[in-house]
Amino acid sequence: MDKKWILADAMPADHRTKLHRWQSEPVLQQLFWNRNLKSEEEAMEFVRHQVSHDADPYKLAGMASAVDRILTAVDAGQLIAIYGDYDVDGVTATLVLKQGLEAYGAKVVTYIPDRHLEGYGVHSFVLEKLANQGVDLVITVDCGISALAEVKKASELGMDFIISDHHQIGSELPEALAVINPNRSDCEYPENILSAVGISYKMVDALWRNRLPENSDKSVSDFLDLVALGTVADLAPLIGENRFMVQAGLEIINTKPRLGIKALLGVSRNKGSVSAQTIAFQLGPRINAVGRIGDATRALNLLATENVQEAIELAQELEKYNRDRQRMTRDMTSRAMELSRQTYGEGDFHILFAEHEDFHNGLVGLVAARLSQSYYLPAVVGQRKEGYITGSARSIAEFHISNAFMECSHLLDRYGGHAAAAGFTIKEENWNEFVELLENIAADNLKGVDLRPALHIDAEVTVSDITDRLASQQVFFEPSGTGNPQPLFLWRGARLLSKQKVGKGDKHLKLKFEGGRNSGLDAIGFGLGDWYADLDNKVDLVFALEFNEWNGQRNEQLNVKDIRSFE
């Protein structure tokens, strides 16, 4: 699909003195400027992964009450239930809080719902089971912010309730003993972008600031490997405190990984250093797979185990789930595309819709993402079962899907999510009205919008700018991901020396351009194989600058994101 190339405005010349340290490196200055780092102090905090704000966990509304109740439960030997979620963020959030409480010798049980049988969120029948087990205190992680009736049910059952969640807040807060959510209007915490595992980490931090466990050799920072997993996998913005925690977590994973992570890296055949991209494309999907089509507690057990053989066996189990998930997703995506065209027409809608009784509810989000990426439109995919349709939506940058769902809330039984992704449950009888209303909302919001994916380019460069030093400086901007994209560069009129189609099905391009050291600049263009026949001697390209190590040599390499004929 044709992409929009959006080049960042050039940094004002009179501001370069504020980044005087890099006065001879205008490209690097531009990269800092684009990230709103407009002084040497701000830039160095970013490079050193320092947090500029007060990260006191007690600034989170409800934290003091939560800590007091938890420590009371610990001292009284009361049974605490942690009610989590089945994705990576929910699993890691559950484990951080579980191990943080167990450091005090607390009595803890965990509950992660079955995605296929129960779906997302807190359920009253589960609370009844927990009450029958003798649970005195329920703490949610990654869910609960909309559980108004369920919190009342817990109270009727004699259980106290603490909610920790990061999802969008509705018009009313549940009547829990404490509600910890950085999106609360009365919350003084300086960032509202924490993931669920980030909030669990802040809860443990708050507990340990109040009273250190007596018989534990752990420190709070030992949990940052789990924070890195959940934060990256949940697509939380990698800026501010999130970026600091992910970087610290990656250092743990790369130096002393827990057995489960080490085993998972083994089955994914990762031999290099672990980055945010490793989590996003290798570790995260494997942990998510078992929650999508199996039992997410298997992932929890993998990350918690201290037995080598158990870690290996569980990692192999997750690998099998991931392969099954890939096959099922391919088949279901093909069916969803066909249904969307047949049922709702082609080219007439601003949102893609597909629902069917044979769809797997653990894969609807992935399929929605595939549809959205293929057509660059929002997509809604659901499973029809027993009079209800339960599904997920994925959106594009130009359309806030969760806000749109809020406008349709009178038709929905359940919903929640973020700007780019949301989940829902709706009665089958309301589906057609929902489709019509959501389409009208999208039509109004997207009227006149250029619906093409965008590449946001940091700086235009010439061949003389593409140096080992600039390649080395790219580490300043890691970990990169959502909210902190990898720097991209535009090179116009690059002279092409050679081209070759590589990879399965000739999907990729291996290129060499004039310039650099020795015999030229190497480049790889993943998914750009269709461009092969149209490449002239001179091209314009957008690329990320990386290093490629081969046969003991380390050279800069261009990771080409898009390419066009030279204009």
Whether pLDDT at 49 is above 90: yes
pLDDT (tens digit per residue) in 392-430: 999 999 999 999 999 999 999 988 778 888 989 999 999
> Is residue 57 reached through a cis peptide bond, with omega within 30 degrees of 0 on the bond before it?
no
Whether pLDDT at 2 is above 90: no
Q: What is the mean pLDDT of residues 271-277?
A: 90
Q: What angle do CA 25, 27, 33 make, to 5 degrees?
A: 105
Q: Long-range contacts: 423-426, Cβ < 8 Å, 24+?
A: 423/120, 423/365, 423/390, 423/391, 423/392, 423/393, 424/382, 424/390, 424/391, 424/392, 424/393, 425/119, 425/388, 425/389, 425/390, 426/382, 426/388, 426/389, 426/390
Q: What is the mean pLDDT of residues 358-369?
A: 94
pLDDT (tens digit per residue) in 156-214: 999 999 999 998 888 899 999 999 999 999 999 999 999 999 999 999 999 999 999 98
How many CB atoms neighbour CB 281 within 10 A? Answer: 12
pLDDT of res. 417: 76
Give φ, ψ of 21 to 5 degrees.
-55, -30
- Please count the helices (runs of H) and the strands (runs of E) in the chain: 18, 18
Whether pLDDT at 550 is above 70: no
pLDDT of res. 215: 79
Q: What is the mean pLDDT of the chain?
A: 94
Closest CA to 426 of 378, 360, 363, 381: 381
pLDDT of res. 518: 64
Tokens linked to 103: 């450091």
pLDDT of res. 207: 97
pLDDT (tens digit per residue) in 119-143: 788 999 999 999 999 999 999 999 9
Whether pLDDT at 551 is above 90: no
- Secondary structure class of 307 (helix, strand, coil): coil
Do 405 and 422 meet the contact criterion of CB atoms below 8 Å apart?
Answer: yes
- Helices marked H in 184-258 — which ranges? 196-210, 224-233, 240-255
Whether pLDDT at 517 is above 70: no
Task: Describe the strand order of the beta sheet including 352-356 as a list of residue ranges.
Answer: 352-356, 379-385, 388-394, 421-427, 412-417
Do 230 and 89 meet the contact criterion of CB atoms below 8 Å apart?
Answer: yes
Q: Domains (ranges, CATH) in the chain?
A: 9-47 (no CATH), 57-225 (3.90.1640.30), 345-446 (3.10.310.30), 455-567 (2.40.50.460)
Do 355 and 391 meet the contact criterion of CB atoms below 8 Å apart?
Answer: yes
pTM of the model: 0.92
Do 350 and 446 meet the contact criterion of CB atoms below 8 Å apart?
Answer: yes
Percentage of the chain exceeding pLDDT 70: 98
Tokens linked to 199: 């909030």
Do 92 and 276 meet the contact criterion of CB atoms below 8 Å apart?
Answer: no
DSSP code at position 345: -
Q: Which of 27-36, 51-60, 112-121, 219-228 has the lowest mean pLDDT?
A: 112-121
